[in-house]
A and B are shown apart, each in its own frame.
Chain A
Amino acid sequence: MTPVSRRRSTLQILLLSAGFFVLVAVSVASVLLVNKAREDNALVVHTVEVESQVANLLLDVRRAESATRAYLLTSAPQYLSEYQSAAAGLPSALGHLQMMTVDNPVQVANAAKLKAAVEQRLADFALSIERVKHNDTATSIDILRKGTSADALEAIAGIGRDMRTEEDRLLAMRTATADRTQVLASSVTIAGSCMVLALAALSLVLLRQSSRARDEAEARLRDSNVNLETIVDERTADLREANEEIQRFAYIVSHDLRSPLVNIMGFTSELEELRGDIFKRIATLNRTASLAPAMPEDATDVAEPELEGSDKQLSDDFSESLSFIKSSIAKMDRLISAILNLTREGRREFKPERVDLRELIDGIVKTVAHQAVEANATVEVGALPKIVSDRLALEQIFSNLIDNALKYLRNGVPGEISIEGRTKLGFAIFEVTDNGRGIDPKDHQRIFDLFRRAGTQDKPGQGIGLAHVRALVRRLGGTMSVASELHKGSTFTITLPIKWSGKNREKAS
């Protein structure tokens, strides 16, 4: 699922960038080609201009010539002025043509030749007109008729043709180039547009695909969410049922274990009584056998008969065995009672109510005041917050902890026990600190296990207190931990919600 979507999005990005690149390339190419086309067009225009310039030039030459001739014939001053205007324009027109053709060496040469020829012709005209002014028409006609003059005329026409041909060639070439450029520009634009369109279509398809995939995934997610909730609900119900089952089981088992225990204990006690009777009788028999038979029958009632030697050994062994049996039964009974109490606690409904911890703990301290005096210990209660929780559970938690603190003090060191409290982020934190014998760090977990204890086993107990306390704290939606070092005292920290709704843990468990 994830790699597919990742591939798809990578593809999407690639497509987008490809489209972007194509667009940029097309734009750049268009700009370049448009510039090129403009240049080409300018060249074409230039060629046409050169042609017209040449044509104009030739026309002016003809005009000058015909004006000259007319003047020669008529000597009318109007033709003179016409000749003058035509001749005056020619040098500048020639210069212009030379400037225009400066880019083409062939035309430069042509222009130079043309200039020479035209100047030659103009000089001839000027000479003829001069002669006519001096009424020497014959000479002037002569001048014009001279071969050189005709040659110049011929040369001018030839050069003009050459230049026009050259320019025609250029025009054809340049027009073709301009056409090519335009075709290229339009084909680049069309190709680019097609590519962009194709890319857009492709990305649309991809987009539709991915949006369909997303819709499907969304639907799946919604389904699985619904499923998950049902599953969680089912599991929670299962767990709760299993928990109740375990509670019932523990209750019934511990209950049914008790019945045989009553018998074992009862008949062991009966046996003990019998033992007393039997050994009493043995002692009496021994004595009657060894001493005078004159002993009265009811002597056993008067004095306790003494056992001797092997009989005494036998009696002691008997007693020892019985006492072991009895102490084991007593222990088993205590364990069973503990389990029963725990299951009973587990079945109890907790009721959240407002509890003044200070008041509650003061009450506990009062009940253990006697123990504290005996243990030479002082209990200090600091300022404690008020919280909403189950009163009975809190009482059990703190009385267990205070009991433990009093129970496991260091010999010969006056006990100092303190209970402190503070609040933080919706939780109340309580610390029960003592300066007692402490707990080895390796036992920190173990002490919370049922029927497990740590350190010197010199105090009575079943190893239930802390397991019970932790179970209660958890049910109240809190946590507990211990910080302790051997011979340096312990601190038990309990964190409870300030406002317990009676739900958070119940529902979760």
Chain B
Amino acid sequence: MSDPVTIIMIEDDEGHARLIERNIRRSGVNNEIIPFTNGTEAVNYLFGRDGSAVERKGQPLLILLDLNLPDMTGIDILKRVKENKYLKSTPVVVLTTTDDSHEIKRCYELGCNVYITKPVNYESFANAIRQLGLFFSVIQVPPASI
């Protein structure tokens, strides 16, 4: 990735977070990864104290989002991100254990860019994350301020 895109990882399970990070690194992506283990902290970081996300203006971000968070559902975060004028063009990758088709459909309707189900089979899991890493290295992330 040419631009210093920051990856925001919102994942309550630290094990999952570690596995995701390892596999992203293995695919050769060295961008900064900021991990959050609950929704509130992530929202605070993304939208700032006043909730307008003005602090993130112009910052290229990529959000990795788990749907099952202890304090809120990832869907709420997705909705807020896609409704915010500074963050709406930020790519969101939903990475979760839920493989319910309604849930997937709903996420895409809300503007999620990629939806990945975490497989228990580790090879598939690692594979998926590495592909994601490759994907990260080729996609162009627009500055969040557009």
A residues near B (Cβ < 8 Å) are: 255-256, 258-263, 265-270, 329-330, 333, 340, 344
Q: How far is the CA of A331 from the CA of B16 in the complex (A)?
A: 20
Q: Which of B1-51 contact A (CB under 8 A)?
A: 13, 15-16, 19, 22
Given contacts A269-B126, A344-B100, contact A259 B121 (CB under 8 A): no
Given contacts A255-B97, A259-B97, A262-B97, contact A333 B120 (CB under 8 A): yes
Q: Which of B68, B99, B120 contacts A261 (CB 8 A)?
A: B120
Given contacts A258-B120, A269-B122, contact A263 B13 (CB under 8 A): yes
Taking the nearest CB of chain A, how far is it from the CB of B35, in angstroms? 15
Q: Which of B19, B98, B99 contacts A267 (CB 8 A)?
A: B19
User: Contact at B100–A262, with CB atoms within 8 Å?
Assistant: no
Q: Which of A255, A265, A270, A344 contacts B120 (CB 8 A)?
A: A265
Given contacts A255-B68, A259-B16, A259-B68, contact A265 B121 (CB under 8 A): yes
B residues near A (Cβ < 8 Å) are: 13, 15-16, 19, 22, 68, 97-100, 118-123, 125-126
Chain A CB count within 10 A is highest, among B118, B119, B122, B125, for B122
User: Contact at A263–B97, with CB atoms within 8 Å?
Assistant: no
Given contacts A255-B68, A255-B97, A267-B19, contact A262 B123 (CB under 8 A): no
CB-nearest residue of chain A to B118: A262
The 9 A-B pairs of least Cβ separation, nearest first, read A263-B15, A269-B122, A333-B120, A266-B19, A258-B97, A265-B122, A266-B122, A261-B120, A262-B118
Taking the nearest CB of chain A, how far is it from the CB of B135, in angstroms? 20
Q: How far is the CA of A319 from the CA of B9 in the complex (A)?
A: 33
Taking the nearest CB of chain A, how far is it from the CB of B126, in angstroms? 7
Q: Which of A262, A333, A340 contacts B16 (CB 8 A)?
A: A262
Given contacts A263-B19, A266-B15, 10 further A-B contacts (CB under 8 A): A255-B97, A259-B68, A259-B97, A262-B15, A263-B13, A267-B15, A269-B123, A270-B22, A333-B120, A333-B121
Taking the nearest CB of chain B, how far is it from the CB of A498, in angstroms? 32
Give 5 A-B contacts (CB < 8 Å), ordered by A residue. A259-B97, A262-B119, A266-B122, A267-B19, A333-B121
Q: How far is the CA of A459 from the CA of B133 in the complex (A)?
A: 38
Q: Which of B22, B99, B118, B121 contacts A330 (CB 8 A)?
A: B121
Taking the nearest CB of chain B, how far is it from the CB of A345, in angstroms? 12
Residues of A within 8 A of B121 (CB): 265, 330, 333
User: Contact at B19–A255, with CB atoms within 8 Å?
Assistant: no
Taking the nearest CB of chain B, how far is it from the CB of A340, in angstroms? 8
CB-nearest residue of chain A to B66: A259
Chain A CB count within 10 A is highest, among B68, B121, B125, B126, for B121
Q: How far is the CA of A33 from the CA of B119 in the complex (A)?
A: 112
Q: How far is the CA of A330 from the CA of B123 in the complex (A)?
A: 12
Q: How far is the CA of A261 from the CA of B13 in the complex (A)?
A: 11
Residues of B within 8 A of A262 (CB): 13, 15-16, 19, 97, 118-120, 125
Q: How far is the CA of A333 from the CA of B15 in the complex (A)?
A: 18
Q: How far is the CA of A333 from the CA of B119 in the complex (A)?
A: 9
Residues of B within 8 A of A333 (CB): 120-121
User: Contact at B16–A263, with CB atoms within 8 Å?
Assistant: yes
User: Contact at B68–A329, with CB atoms within 8 Å?
Assistant: no
Chain B CB count within 10 A is highest, among A259, A265, A266, A329, for A266
Residues of A within 8 A of B123 (CB): 269
CB-nearest residue of chain B to A258: B97
Q: Which of A255, A261, A268, A329 contacts B98 (CB 8 A)?
A: A255
Q: How far is the CA of A395 from the CA of B82 in the complex (A)?
A: 40
Residues of A within 8 A of B15 (CB): 260, 262-263, 266-267
Q: How far is the CA of A333 from the CA of B97 in the complex (A)?
A: 12
Residues of A within 8 A of B120 (CB): 258, 261-262, 265, 329-330, 333
Chain B CB count within 10 A is highest, among A263, A340, A344, for A263
